[in-house]
């Protein structure tokens, strides 16, 4: 299953889909060996719409921050529900400025329903396109729609230093690198939700991953406004978070 303009943008919401994701969280785990030395934060953008790679990246850089952009090369230049997606030139520019270009499969594949072979093939195709564009091999991965099954989790885990889902949570010692939690800073309640989790992460000296899609004054239901992103970054810096791309945060916690 891939996303297009006519496809509802959400994970399988059936009882089976919810049970599959919960079962996956118990299987093929790779626990983080140490606790974060201090509160940590990563800002990530899924699907890399142009508003994220342009305005979103500019806002991060104004704060001296680098982000993680989970890109599906098969969406490059296409118009999706959250806007037109970035292309080769945009990814090369971002990588050159120190941002992480991570994997989101090639075709925005639903890894909950796909076979292990199909998921692995789609990921390999994405990596090949990255290399052809002059980008480094991606280290981080995010499951499209946040959906995953035990079979695809097992197949993809060896390919990446971390794999991220969409279930909410903080990251600390023992958290599964093969299905990391994350919190959306998207939609009308997204800013307040993200700020609440920032407070929790600071109190527990935990790592928090925030994600969104587009960044524009009138965002899609999966995006946020520039002002909301700027306020959250300002708050995180005032709270003295260490703010790193996902790959760098993983390296900090795994050696």
CATH number (domain holding residue 27): 3.20.20.370
The pLDDT of residue 2: 40
The pLDDT of residue 7: 47
Give the burial class of 94: count Cβ atoms within 10 A of its Cβ; 0-12 exposed, 13-18 middle, 19 or more buried.
buried
In a domain, 121, yes or no: yes
Reported as type and span, the H/E element at residue 201 is: helix 190-204
Query: Radius of gyration (Cα) for the chain, nearest Å?
Result: 17
In a domain, 3, yes or no: no
Q: pTM (2 decimals)?
A: 0.93
In a domain, 10, yes or no: no
Q: What is the pLDDT along the chain (255 residues), one digit of tens a residue?
A: 343 444 445 566 677 667 777 788 888 999 999 999 999 999 999 999 999 999 999 999 999 999 999 999 999 999 999 999 999 999 999 999 999 999 999 999 999 999 999 999 999 999 999 999 999 999 999 999 999 999 999 999 999 999 999 999 999 999 999 999 999 999 889 999 999 999 999 999 999 999 999 999 999 999 999 999 999 999 999 999 999 999 999 999 998
What letter would DSSP give residue 74? G
Domain count, the chain: 1
In a domain, 247, yes or no: yes
**Which tokens in the block code for residue 33?**
């060996």
In a domain, 183, yes or no: yes
Closest C-alpha among 249, 99, 101 to residue 171: 249
In a domain, 9, yes or no: no
**Which tokens in the block code for residue 80?**
């999706």
Reduced 3-state DSSP string for 119-171: HHHHHHHHHHHHHHCCCCCCCEEECHHHCCCHHHHHHHHHHCCEEECCCCCCE
Angle between helices 190-204 and 226-238 (to 10 degrees): 10
In a domain, 228, yes or no: yes
SS3 for 208? strand
Return d(Cα 73, Cα 226) in angstroms, integer.
25
The pLDDT of residue 5: 40
Structural domain including 135 reads 15-254
Task: State the CB neighbour count (10 A cutoff) for residue 107.
Answer: 19
In a domain, 235, yes or no: yes
Closest C-alpha among 106, 87, 150, 157 to residue 3: 106
């Amino acid at each position: 299953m891939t996303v297009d303009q006519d496809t509802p943008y959400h994970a399988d919401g059936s009882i089976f889909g919810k049970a599959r994701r919960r079962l996956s969280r118990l299987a093929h785990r790779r626990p983080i060996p140490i606790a974060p030395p201090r509160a940590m934060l990563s800002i990530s953008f899924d699907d890399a719409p142009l508003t994220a790679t342009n305005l979103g990246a500019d806002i991060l850089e104004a704060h001296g921050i680098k982000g993680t952009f989970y890109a599906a090369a098969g969406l490059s230049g296409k118009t999706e529900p959250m806007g037109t997606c970035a292309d080769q030139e945009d990814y090369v520019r971002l990588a050159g400025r120190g941002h992480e270009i991570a994997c989101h499969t090639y075709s925005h594949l639903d890894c909950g329903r796909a076979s292990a072979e199909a998921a692995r093939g789609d990921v390999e195709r994405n990596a090949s396109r990255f290399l052809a564009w002059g980008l480094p091999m991606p280290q981080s991965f995010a499951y499209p729609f946040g959906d995953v099954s035990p079979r695809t989790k097992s197949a993809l885990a060896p390919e990446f230093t971390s794999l991220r889902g969409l279930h909410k949570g903080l990251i600390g010692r023992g958290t599964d690198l093969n299905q990391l939690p994350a919190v959306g800073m998207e939609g009308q309640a997204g800013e307040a939700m993200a700020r609440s989790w920032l407070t929790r992460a600071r109190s527990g000296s935990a790592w928090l991953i925030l994600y969104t899609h587009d960044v524009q004054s009138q965002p899609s239901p999966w995006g946020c406004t520039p002002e909301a992103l700027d306020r959250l970054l300002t708050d995180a810096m005032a709270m003295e978070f260490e703010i790193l791309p996902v790959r760098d945060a993983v390296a900090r916690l795994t050696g």
